[in-house]
Amino acid sequence: MTMFPAKVKYLHRLLQLKHTLWCSPSLGKAPCSRLVLGIETSCDDTGAAVLDETGEILGESLHSQKDVHLRTGGIIPTVAQQLHREHIERVVQEALERSDVDPSRLSAVATTVKPGLALSLGIGLEFSQKFVRQHNKPFIPIHHMEAHALTVRMLQPVAFPFLVLLVSGGHSLLAVARGVDDFLLLGHALDEAPGDALDKVARRLSLIKHPQCSTLSGGQAIELLAEDGDRTRFPFRTPMGQTYDCCFSFAGLRNQVNMTIMKKEAEEGIEQGTLLSCVNDIAASAQHTVASHLAKRTHRAILFCKANGLLPSDSPTVVLSGGVASNQYIRKSLTIITDATGLRLLCPPAKFCTDNGVMIAWNGVERLREGKGILPPDVDVSYEPKARLGVDMTAEVKAAAIRLPSVRMKISK
Ligand code: KG4
Ligand code: ZN
């Protein structure tokens, strides 16, 4: 829909007026909701957003580095750092302007400080510390995975505790969220994350040369091609079938896929870098195995939670989030498990699954409401590239050695 500039200006004025009236104490209205600016730079997205206490997004801005990293064949940390440096000021400015909020009206600034790429985290943290000192605002350091886990609560009421599966380019973890800063870690990635593995498979298949995939991330490209593929053609082994815990491993699967690719290249007499005729079937088989691994680990986590009374009997919930959670086939495979175990599955829409400033601002709101982890502007904070989420329960989960009943993973396309 296009709007005439005059109409846009008029609407903007109207919104400003509404805001002035609402916030005016002399008119006896409720006091203004507290406002939080969130800043995200932990990986390859520079994001900022202003949220009020109810979770309404007043303004946001996001600069994605995806296209640059697609061309260079993966994230080069110094390049990511340079791009964050070039864009952070504009992105934060844009989020403030779009929300029509002057920095003086902010109640706090929340910024990702862990885990992530050191060089990327450093840019967001340095910018934020300067900003909070300049405007004399409290600072809320944010754990990136805590933010992914809590995003769902911005969109709908989801009470603690709930089980959360977070899958992205940098992480794979299962945890029980018991409170804003209270997590039990049931499983984590032992080698690479599922998004990373899919990105590497996509690169090995040279999917960037595929006419339908040139602008897609590896995971998105695999999902698209898998729609027209036969997942039974390459029966890859689901990882860690003999390890009865909730940890994840994707490096071995990637190796299996690579071996198949090499074999097929030899059979078709083509060089690495040329598109194979069976890319759709490889994509479908790899995606199915990733989905099956995630589903099995989640199934065991649900049984562990049930055995230990970690979830409520009323409406027990699994939340699926992180970049890989936008994959519909993976969502469906998780639904099979939650249906079989009597839980409900919640997934934020794709734009809230991937990295953004909104989820960081929301985490700031949740912490502000509870008065947890709010620092004065002059406190020095360090970033932490590696940081586990919550209390590590992986040994207890392993010791329980829960065997899974078989569940038929028949996933419709
Ligand atoms: O959460 P995110 O934006 O960034 C972090 O890694 O923290 O996730 C990006 C990852 C990439 O590896 C990308 O390939 C993957 O999420 N991804 C997908 C899909 N969309 C993005 N993986 C599978 N299917 C998708 N549709
Ligand atoms: Zn993320």
pTM for the model: 0.91
Q: Which ligand is nearest to the CA of 117?
A: 1
C-alpha 169 to ligand 1 mean position (Å): 5
Give residue 196 CA to ligand 1 midpoint distance, Å: 8
CA of 42 to the centre of ligand 2 (A): 8
* Beta-ladder partners of 57: 51
Fill in the amino acid letter for 212.
Q
CB 229 within 8 A of CB 386: no
Pocket test for ligand 1, best of 70, 217, 360 (most atoms within 8 A of CB): 217
* Residue 76 CA, ligand 1 centroid: distance in Å: 17
User: According to the model, what pLDDT value does residue 70 have?
Assistant: 82
Centroid of chain to Cα 362? 14
Helices 279-307 and 218-226 cross at an angle (nearest 10°) of 100
Task: For residue range 367-402, list pLDDT tens digits in order.
Answer: 999 999 999 999 999 999 999 999 999 999 999 999
The residue type at 150: L
Ligand 1 shell residues, CB under 6 Å: 43, 168-170, 195-196, 198-199, 217-220, 223, 322-324, 326-327, 354-355
Each residue's pLDDT tens digit, 198-230: 999 999 999 999 999 999 999 999 999 999 999
Kindly identify the ligand whose nearest atom is closest to the C-alpha of 221. Answer: 1
State the distance between the two ends of the chain, measured CA to CA, in whole angstroms: 32
Residues in contact with 388: Cβ distance below 8 Å, sequence separation at least 6, in sequence order:
185, 188
- Residue 237: enclosing H or E segment and its boundaries? none
**169 Cα nearest atom in ligand 1:** 6
Among 324, 359, 413, which residue has the most ligand 1 atoms within 8 Å of its CB, making it the best to mutate?
324
| pLDDT on residue 409 | 81
The pLDDT assigned to 413 comes to 65
**Rounded distance from Cα 148 to ligand 2 centre (Å):** 7
Measure the CA angle with vertex 254, ends 250 and 256; round to 5°.
Answer: 120
Question: What is the per-residue pLDDT for 161?
Answer: 98
Q: Compute CA distances 227 → 245, 283, 329, whole Å.
A: 31, 9, 9
Find where tokens 């504009």 sit.
90
Residue owning the nearest CA to atom 8 of ligand 1 = 323
Q: Give the closest residue to 369 by CA, choosing from 64, 107, 69, 98.
A: 107
Shortest-distance atom of ligand 1 to CA 328: 26
Distances in Å between the Cα of 331 and the Cα atoms of 83, 133, 205, 251, 272 are 32, 43, 24, 22, 32
Per the CB < 8 A criterion, the answer to whether 136 and 350 are in contact is no
Please report where in the chains the tokens 């400080």 appear, as a residue.
113
Q: What is the CA radius of gyration of the chain?
A: 23
- Averaged over successive runs of 10 residues, the pLDDT of the chain (413 residues) comes to 37 37 37 88 96 97 90 89 96 98 98 97 98 98 97 97 96 97 98 96 95 94 98 97 97 97 96 94 98 98 98 97 96 98 96 95 98 97 97 98 91 72
Helices (H) and strands (E) in the chain, counts: 14, 11
Distance 217 CA to ligand 1 centre (A): 7
